[in-house]
Amino acid sequence: MEPARARRCQARDNVARVATVTHQVPEIFVLWHPACELGETLASKIYAWLRPENGLGPQVFYRSAPAPEAPPRGLPPPLPGEQRAGRVTTPQRRGENLQILIVLADAHLVADPTWRAWLRQLAVDGASSVRRVFIPVALDGTAFNVPPPLGERNFLRPTGANEPDRAERERLVTRSLLKQLTEVLCRLLLRDGASDPEDDSGPKIKVFLSHAKVDGTSPAKSIRDHIYSQTQIAAFYDENDIPFGQAFARVIDQAVSTDTAALIAVQSAVYHRRPWCRFELSRFRRPIADAALPQHWRLPPVLVVDAIAGGESSRGIPELGNAPIVRWKEDAGTAAEQAEEIVTTVLREAVLAAFHHAAGRALHPRPGPGEVVTNWLPDPVTLLPIVAKHGEKLVVHYPGRGLSGLELDILFELFPAISFRSFEESLP
Amino acid sequence: MTERKHRNRTGHGHAVAFSISYQRDDLLARGLGIEHLRELLVRLARPVVRAGAGIAYDGAWRDEPGNFTFVLLQLINAEREDNVTGGPDTGLQIGGLVNHLAWPNYLEVTPAIEARWIHCCRIVRVTQEDAGLTDLVADDQAKSGSDPALWNAAVTLSAMRRLSPHSRSISIPDAASERIVGPRARIVLGGKLAGYRGFLPGVLEEVLVALEAQIPLYVLGGFGGVAEAVAQAFRDRTVTPPLTMAWNDQQAPELKRLRESGFNLPPSGLVRAADTMLAELRRRATEDRPLAEKFATGLDEHDTAELMSTSDPDRAVQLVRRGLERTLGIRAG
C-alpha cells in the first residue's frame, strides 16, 4: 500500500476506535423540586433542545411531582432500574441504557429531606442494572449543599438567575444552561469509556474550524475566541495548530479523523476555491465504518456558517450535501452571541450523532447481508462511499421518522436499488 | 426516474380516531410533560396520514397549550406539501382531519379560520337540533351561563360523541351531499379528570362508543388521565373512580343539579344517561373476557396488556402500529 493511502487507512482505523462513542443508548431524566420556580420551564427547554424536529434525539423524561401512588410531598416515579423500598423497578426500555440525570438544584430541593434522601440513595444505588451519570446544575447558591457524593461534583452554573425580570431570567438561564449542558453531554457521549462528566483525563473534545484565510478571519476568529474563552473544548483553527516540520495534509487528516467532534465550515465567497478548505471538508464528509460492526457507519457533523457578504456570489460545494447552514450576520455587536450559538449548535449535532450511532446499534445489532445503518440522514454525497464498499443493492437504515418525499425522490433516482428505512419504521 | 411509490396507501378509505387531552399535574406525576403527549400524537398520526387514512379528532380550536387540533393540522399540512413536488407519489391521497364540533363550540370557528385550513380539515357541526333538543338556546346566549345553555351544551356534546363514530352523509344546499367516513379504530391517551365539559369525560364516552361499535381500540394507559383509569379498570377487572356516578357528580356538580331539578334528555334516545353509560362501561370492564378480544386490538393478550400500561413512548408507538397493521392493514412507511 502506498504511504499516503496507508496513512489515510490508519487515520480511518483511529476514527473507528476513538469514535466508538458510548454504545449504551442515553436516556435523560431532568429532576427538579416541585417548588422550583424555573424547573418546569428548563426541563421543557432541555426536551426541545435535545429532541429537535419531533423527537430526533435521546428520550427526555421528567422527575418532579410526586408519583400518583406517593404520599403528599412524596417522591416522583422511580427511575428505571431504581431500587426503592427494597424493590427494583423494571428497566423501562430494552437494551443497555445510559441514564443521565440532570439535577436542577435549588434551595427547595436542598432543604427537602425526602429529596435529599432520594438523591443520596440514587448516587449509591449499586443494585441498579443501568449505568447512571449525574449532571448537577446550581440554580442558586445553596445548590452546592446537596448531599454527597453529588455535592462534591463540579456543578453546571448557568448565569442570569439573579435577573429581576422573570422572562429575561428564563431566557438567560436557559441559554447558559443549554450551552454548558451540551458541552458536558458531548464530552460524556463522545469520549470512549468516560463514565464521569468530570473525568478530564482524556484529550479535550475538539471542533475543527475550516475557513479561508484570504477572507480575513472575522467569523472564524470570533468562533475560535469563543471556544477558547468560554468553553472547555479545543479548536483546530489554522497552521498554528500544526507542529513545526510536519506536513499540513497529514496533520489535518489526523486532526479531522481522530479527535474532532465536529467541523464548522465558515463559507465565504472564495471558500470553494481554497484547496485546503475543500480537502478538510471532503475528509469530514466521508462516512466511517465502525471497526467492530462494519455495516454501521457514522458521519461526524458539519455545520456551515454562511459568511458570504451581501452582493458577493459563490458556488455550491457538493460535499456539503444536506449539512445544516446558519447565516452569519455582519454585526460586530452580536459576534460573540453568534459564535456561542454556532458552537453550541454544532456540539448539539455531535451529541445527536453519538446518540443515533448508539440507537442504530441497539436497533440493528446484527444487520443482515445488504443492510447498513447510518447515524445521519443520508444524501447522495455521503452514500457514495457506502455504495462503493457494499454495492448498490442495499437497505439503508437511518435515524428519525422518515425522509420527505422530495428527498426520497432524489435518492431513488440516483440509487434505484437502495431501500431507505427510518429507525422509526424499523421498530419491530 | 424510477416510478416507485415511496408511501404505501394501505390506509386509503379508512379513518382512525384519536381521543387525547392534556392535564398538566396528572402527566407530570408520571414524569412527562405536554411535549411527550404532543410528540406521541404526531408519531402515532403520521404513519396513518401517510398511508392515506383520515384522522378523526373532535378537539376545539382554541390556540392554547393543551390543544392538539393545530398539531394535527400542521402535520397534515406538512405531509400534503411534501406530496406535491412532482415525484411518483404526487396526487396520491394524504389523509385529512374530520373534526366534529358540538354547539356552541363551533361558534368559535370563524370563516377565516375554517378557510385557512380547508385543504386539511372538514368541520362537521353538530347542532342542538341534531342532538334532538327542541327547547333551543340562541347562539348569542350560548355563553350566558344559564341553566338551559349549560344543559343543551352537555347534551349536544354527548350527541356529537355518539354521532361522530359513524359514517354519514352531510347535506349541502344546492350541492351534492358529502360522505363523512367514520373511524375504523380509535387511539386513546390522556384525558381530563377535572374541568371537562359534558356529563362524562370525553375519553370515557368515546371508549364506550368504540367498544359498542366493536372497532379496534388502543388505550394507552401509561400516560395518565382518564385513559389510565380505563386501562386499570379493564386490566384489573375492577371499578375505578371515573367509572362511578358519584365521582362524575363531584366533577360536574352543575349538571347533577340540573338533572335533579328536572332537565331531561331528548326522547330520541341518541343521548344516553350518564349512569347508564357508566354501568355499561363497568359491565364491560369486569366481564370475564380477554383484553385483546374486548378491545379487538389485533395484538395478543400480553401485548394488549403492555400497551395499556407502558409509559415508554417507543413501545406504545410500536404496539399501536402493529395493531393497526393487523386489524386495518395500515402499514407505516
A373: nearest Cα among A300, A319, A423, A302? A423
Q: What is the pLDDT of residue A12?
A: 39
Give chain B positions within 8 Å (CB) of A59.
313-314
Confidence of residue A170 (pLDDT cuts 50, 70, 90): very high
Q: CB–CB of B39 and A66 under 8 A?
A: no
Q: CB–CB of A413 and B317 under 8 A?
A: no
Q: What is the pLDDT of residue B7?
A: 73
Q: What is the pLDDT of residue A47?
A: 97
Confidence of residue A150 (pLDDT cuts 50, 70, 90): confident
Mean pLDDT over residues B168-181, rounded?
A: 86
Interhelix angle A248-258/A3-18, rounded to 10 degrees, is: 20
Confidence of residue A3 (pLDDT cuts 50, 70, 90): very low
| pLDDT above 90 coverage of chain B, percent | 70
CA distance A233 to B1: 46
Q: Is the pLDDT of residue A53 over 90?
A: no
CA distance B249 to B263: 15
Q: CB–CB of A59 and B314 under 8 A?
A: yes
Chain B residue with CA closest to A414: the answer is B1
Give chain A positions within 8 Å (CB) of B28.
40, 62, 64-65
Amino acid, single-letter form, for residue B318 = Q
**All cell numbers assigned to A275:** 484547496
What are the distances in angstroms from CA A238 to CA A42, A43, A209, A267, A345?
Answer: 37, 38, 8, 15, 22
pLDDT tens, residue by residue, A332-344: 678 889 999 999 9
Q: What is the pLDDT of residue A8?
A: 41
Give chain B positions within 8 Å (CB) of A67.
29-30
Q: Which of A48, A77, A416 is facing B31, going by the closest CB pair?
A: A77
Q: Is the pLDDT of residue A173 over 70?
A: yes
- Whether A245 has its CB under 8 Å from any CB of chain B: the answer is no
Q: What is the pLDDT of residue A305?
A: 94
B22: nearest Cα among B200, B150, B201? B201
Give chain B positions within 8 Å (CB) of A404.
82
CA distance B62 to A88: 43
Report whether B291 contacts B235 (CB < 8 A): yes
Mean pLDDT over residues A416-423, rounded?
A: 92
Chain A residue with CA closest to B92: the answer is A405
Q: Which of A92, A412, A427 is facing B4, going by the closest CB pair?
A: A412
Give chain B positions within 8 Å (CB) of A36.
none
Query: Which residue did the predictor score with more confidence, B332 or B215?
Result: B215
Most confident of A11-15, B40-44, B78-82: B40-44
Chain A residue with CA closest to B315: the answer is A93
Q: What is the pLDDT of residue A273?
A: 86
DSSP A79: P
Q: CB–CB of B6 and A421 under 8 A?
A: no
Based on its alpha-carbon atoms, the radius of gyration of chain A, rounded to whole angstroms, reads 23
Q: Is the pLDDT of residue A254 over 80?
A: no
- Whether A332 has its CB under 8 Å from any CB of chain B: the answer is no
- Whether A62 has its CB under 8 Å from any CB of chain B: the answer is yes
Q: What is the pLDDT of residue A91?
A: 54
Give A 12-31 residues with CB within 8 A of chain B: 29
| pLDDT above 70 coverage of chain A, percent | 82
Query: Which residue did the predictor score with more confidence, A42 or A312?
Result: A42
Q: Is the pLDDT of residue B151 over 50?
A: yes
Q: Is the pLDDT of residue B125 over 90?
A: yes
Q: CB–CB of A59 and B1 under 8 A?
A: no
Confidence of residue B4 (pLDDT cuts 50, 70, 90): low
Give chain A positions within 8 Å (CB) of B315.
93
Chain A residue with CA closest to B322: the answer is A428
Sign of CA dihedral A231, A237, A243, A249: positive
Q: Which of B1, B35, B315 is facing A413, going by the closest CB pair?
A: B1
Mean pLDDT over residues A375-399, rounded?
A: 93
Q: CB–CB of B39 and A409 under 8 A?
A: no
Report whether A176 contacts A158 (CB < 8 A): yes
Count the helix, strand and coil residues of chain A and give each as a percent rounded to the nearest 5: 45, 20, 40
DSSP per-residue codes, B289-333: S-HHHHHT-SS-HHHHHHHTT---HHHHHHHHHHHHHHHT-----
Chain A residue with CA closest to B311: the answer is A92
pLDDT tens, residue by residue, B105-116: 999 999 999 999
Q: Is the pLDDT of residue B169 over 90?
A: no
**All cell numbers assigned to A204:** 479535550
Most confident of A231-245, B20-34, B278-292: B278-292
Q: What is the pLDDT of residue A179?
A: 96
Mean pLDDT over residues B295-309, rounded?
A: 97
B13 to chain A, closest Cα gap in Å: 21
What's the burial of A313, exposed, middle or buried (CB within 10 Å: 0-12/13-18/19+)?
A: exposed
Mean pLDDT over residues B145-156, rounded?
A: 95
Q: What is the pLDDT of residue B1?
A: 42
Q: Is the pLDDT of residue A128 over 70?
A: no
- Whether B241 has its CB under 8 Å from any CB of chain A: the answer is no
- Whether B283 has its CB under 8 Å from any CB of chain A: the answer is no
Sign of CA dihedral A237, A241, A247, A250: negative
Q: Is the pLDDT of residue A136 over 90?
A: yes
Q: What is the pLDDT of residue A22?
A: 57
pLDDT tens, residue by residue, B222-269: 999 999 999 999 999 999 999 999 999 999 999 999 999 989 898 888
Most confident of A220-224, A269-273, B152-156, B165-169: B152-156
Q: What is the pLDDT of residue A272?
A: 86
Mean pLDDT over residues A357-376, rounded?
A: 92
Whether ipTM exceeds 0.85: yes
Q: CB–CB of B28 and A44 under 8 A?
A: no
Q: What is the pLDDT of residue A198?
A: 52
Confidence of residue A41 (pLDDT cuts 50, 70, 90): very high
A232 to chain B, closest Cα gap in Å: 31
Q: Is the pLDDT of residue B305 over 80?
A: yes
Query: Which residue did the predictor score with more confidence, B58 or B333?
Result: B58
Three-class secondary structure of residue A410 per DSSP? helix
For the whole model, what pTM was predicted?
0.89
CA distance B284 to B280: 6
- Whether B83 has its CB under 8 Å from any CB of chain A: the answer is yes
Q: CB–CB of A424 and B43 under 8 A?
A: yes
Chain A residue with CA closest to B331: the answer is A425
Q: What is the pLDDT of residue A17?
A: 34
Three-class secondary structure of residue B255 per DSSP? helix
Q: Which of B30, B46, B88 is facing A401, going by the closest CB pair?
A: B46
- Whether B3 has its CB under 8 Å from any CB of chain A: the answer is no
pLDDT tens, residue by residue, B7-45: 777 878 889 999 998 889 999 999 999 999 999 999 999
Q: CB–CB of A427 and B321 under 8 A?
A: yes
Q: Give the A:B interface size as CB pairs under 8 Å.
A: 92
Query: Which residue did the predictor score with more confidence, A89 or B71?
Result: B71
Q: Is the pLDDT of residue A18 over 60?
A: no
B315 to chain A, closest Cα gap in Å: 8
Give chain A positions within 8 Å (CB) of B6.
405, 408-409, 412
Q: Which of A62, A409, A421 is facing B28, going by the closest CB pair?
A: A62
A194 to chain B, closest Cα gap in Å: 27
Q: CB–CB of A64 and B28 under 8 A?
A: yes
Q: CB–CB of A424 and B332 under 8 A?
A: yes
Interface probe, candidates B8, B34, B35, B44, chain A, greatest A C-beta count within 10 A: B35
Mean pLDDT over residues A382-390, rounded?
A: 93
Confidence of residue A10 (pLDDT cuts 50, 70, 90): very low
Q: What is the pLDDT of residue A127?
A: 55
